[in-house]
A = this chain, B = another copy of it.
Amino acid sequence: MADRTIALASDHAGYDLKLELACLVADLGFEPLDLGTHDRESVDYPDFGAELGRAVADGRAALGVLVCGTGIGISIAANRNPAVRAALCHDTTTARLARQHNDANVLSIGARTTGPETAKDILRAFLETPFEGGRHARRVDKLATC
């Protein structure tokens, strides 16, 4: 069921953290969909950010999680897709605000800049926080067309 499916993708730098986050996704009762990369061989982050963006856009997954060294490059790639709102988060506060205000449907984390326990707390906050709607909805709608 797509609305319980969480897609995950990373480059080589994010591979180990992606595996940890996929376990947490399953522990929290969601269905992880691992779009790669599948080992530590060097790959190009845009390929994986774009593929995860397509998975969210076409409904294969309700939400997505991206990991690269800083979370920056892979989130830029995903945000090329007008259906994606990928939020680079470095703490639980920004994860909460990304859901409340931006209705973010993709979480991006930097494996070289955010430790694994912090990353897991960020993912929990992201999955637990609903969108606030209201005045934020008009702005979110604009992100689909700008």
- Residues in chain A within 8 A of chain B (CB atoms): 42, 44-47, 49-50, 69-70, 72-73, 75-77, 79-80, 82, 85-90, 93-94, 97-98, 101-102, 104, 110, 112-113, 135, 138-139, 142-143, 146
Do B45 and A77 touch (CB < 8 A)? no
Determine whether the beta carbon of B143 is less than 8 Å from that of A70: no
The residues of B that contact A110 with a CB separation of less than 8 Å are: 94
List 10 additional A-B contacts (Cβ < 8 Å) besides A75-B79, A80-B143, A94-B113: A46-B146, A50-B146, A72-B102, A73-B101, A76-B85, A76-B86, A76-B143, A77-B142, A77-B143, A77-B146
CB of B146 within 8 A of CB of A69, answer no
Closest Cβ neighbor of A85 among chain B residues:
B76
Q: Which residue of chain B is the closest to A87 with respect to CB atoms?
A: B72
Copies in the complex: 2
* Cβ of A127 to closest chain B Cβ, rounded Å: 17
Nearest B residue to A72 by beta-carbon distance?
B87
Assess the B73–A93 pair: CB atoms within 8 A: no
Question: Within the complex, what minimum Cβ distance (angstroms) separates A62 from chain B?
Answer: 18
22 contacts between A and B (CB under 8 A): A42-B135, A44-B139, A45-B139, A46-B142, A46-B143, A70-B98, A72-B98, A73-B101, A73-B102, A73-B139, A73-B143, A76-B102, A76-B143, A77-B143, A80-B80, A80-B82, A80-B143, A80-B146, A90-B90, A94-B110, A94-B113, A97-B112
